[in-house]
Amino acid sequence: MRMFTLSDRAELIAKAGPDASYEQRLTILEKEVDRLRERRERDQVAVGKRFDRVEANLTNERAERTKDYAALKEKVEDFAVGGLHLEVVGLAWLVVGVLFSTLPECSVAWVWEHGATGLVLFGGIALGWVVWKFLRPLTS
């Protein structure tokens, strides 16, 4: 950030003396008008360059903000939805655990009689029920 600026502008004002003729006064006025036109053109060029610089800075800033917004949006979506599959698996294991802990003894005996096959079958049924019950409303 600049704190001060230096200008390279100096003006020389030519005035007609009190005894100058009308032609001399007119010549001085014409030169003054020409000088004012040149100054205006210089100022227009300088303003145009500054405007182009500000426009380029604004374009760069807009591109950076768009990129940052997209990155932030992705992070928020990952945070909000990224662990959903883990939550569903945890919920499925919770339901399986609750079902196993509350089943009558004959059902547990049936699962134990059939060994790992019964456990997988019963877990699959429980997991299918959890998916049907809780994930179906999310996809509808």
Specify whether 58 is located in the same domain as 95.
no
Give the predicted TM-score (pTM) of the model: 0.44
pLDDT at 55: 96
Q: Is the residue at 12 inside a domain?
A: no
Cα distance between residue 55 and residue 62, in whole Å: 10
Does residue 5 register a pLDDT over 90?
no
pLDDT at 30: 92
pLDDT at 1: 46
Tokens of 135: 């994930």
Which residue shows structure tokens 């019963």? 122
Q: What is the pLDDT of residues 52-80, one digit of tens each?
A: 999 999 999 999 999 999 999 888 877 76
Specify whether 139 is located in the same domain as 99.
yes
Q: What is the mean pLDDT of the chain?
A: 78
CB 53 within 8 Å of CB 59: no
| Structural domain boundaries enclosing 65 | 19-82
Which residues, 6+ apart, have CB-to-CB distance to 130 below 8 Å?
88, 91, 92, 95
Q: What is the pLDDT of residues 95-127, one digit of tens each?
A: 777 776 776 666 666 666 766 666 667 677 777
Q: Is the residue at 130 inside a domain?
A: yes
Specify whether 31 is located in the same domain as 42.
yes
Alpha carbon of residue 90 to chain centroid: 33
Counting every residue, how long is the chain?
140
pLDDT at 116: 60
pLDDT at 47: 95
pLDDT at 59: 96
Specify whether 97 is located in the same domain as 137.
yes
Which residues, 6+ apart, have CB-to-CB distance to 19 below 8 Å?
none
